[in-house]
Amino acid sequence: MRYVTYEDDGRRRVGLLDQDGRVLDAGFDGDMVAFIEAGAPLGPARKVDGAVLRAPLRPRSLRDFLAFEGHLRNAFKNLGRQIPPEWYDVPAYYKGLPDTVIGPDEVIPWPSYTEQLDHELELAAVIGRPGRDIPEERALDHVFGYTLWNDVSARDTQRRELPVGMGPAKAKDWDGSNVLGPCIVTPDELTIGDLRLTVRVNGERWGGDTTANMHHSFASMIAYASRDLTLRPGEVLGSGTAATGSGLELYRWLQPGDVIELEGDGIGILRNTIGPRRTRS
């Protein structure tokens, strides 16, 4: 199944996409998180004409990991750094702000404090079943589905923040800095161990990778995050950037008006446009 949140006449509702990409109302009164918590109950489906896709959910939380060794090697080479040995043992993450999330075809705002805006190509898992101290061998049973995540970054700001050792802050936090979509696809429809991810800017392929190259799996991320902590439906865990999935690795930066397309096999295309450059008054 491919689940969406759509807007129609100013209302946002849970829907699903049929094989032809048409939106069908799911017959549920509530948002996506409530839908997941309720066990994804489907009522009588009806076709919705003129539906506009929005972010598939307002996550209960956002955790972003660093799973792709290739991305780290490329990025750290440009920064003159080495991958710390701890990375190979610990699926570390930082936390993002759920209220910064926007969805398909929305304009990504340009924050006033950056000259180096960058996209990040990621796959994200949406938790569907609560659990604490989840063993790795059963961790994927807690996944409701997967979506794409464009973790937009202000790289010059990030470069100033990283030496402090506190993780990213304003480099990741502004209204519209996290993009999810276009849908949530249930695990039975995906080959999660070898799923191809691609990013294009203005129709030009900038990079791509496959989940087969993840050093840390979603199962290990879930197991790690759930130590002594209950994970709940609607929480989102990101893979971190796929190798060549960012402009940082190429030293190419986004410009106002650029159209970014993230594509995942079986998930579809998450498309957004970069907004005008802003300066502080």
More confident residue, 130 or 19: 130
What digits encode the pLDDT tens for the residues 147-206? 999 999 999 999 999 889 887 899 999 999 999 999 999 999 999 999 999 999 999 999
Domain encompassing residue 126: 61-274
Are residue 47 and residue 81 in the same domain, yes or no?
A: no
Q: Report the alpha-carbon angle 91-92-94, nearest 5.
A: 140
Is 279 part of any domain?
Answer: no
Is 172 part of any domain?
Answer: yes
Is 232 part of any domain?
Answer: yes
pLDDT given at position 165: 81
The CATH number assigned to the domain holding 158 equals 3.90.850.10
Are residue 178 and residue 75 in the same domain, yes or no?
A: yes
pTM of structure = 0.96
Length of the chain counted residue by residue: 281
Here the tokens at position 46 are 């009806």
pLDDT band at 77 (very low <50, low <70, confident <90, very high): confident
Is 280 part of any domain?
Answer: no
Are residue 37 and residue 81 in the same domain, yes or no?
A: no
Contact 243, 213 (CB under 8 A): yes
Are residue 47 and residue 139 in the same domain, yes or no?
A: no
Are residue 19 and residue 45 in the same domain, yes or no?
A: yes
Q: Locate tokens 């080479």: which residue?
A: 77
Are residue 86 and residue 217 in the same domain, yes or no?
A: yes
The number of domains in the chain is: 2
What digits encode the pLDDT tens for the residues 113-132? 999 999 999 999 999 999 99
Are residue 128 and residue 261 in the same domain, yes or no?
A: yes
Are residue 32 and residue 66 in the same domain, yes or no?
A: no
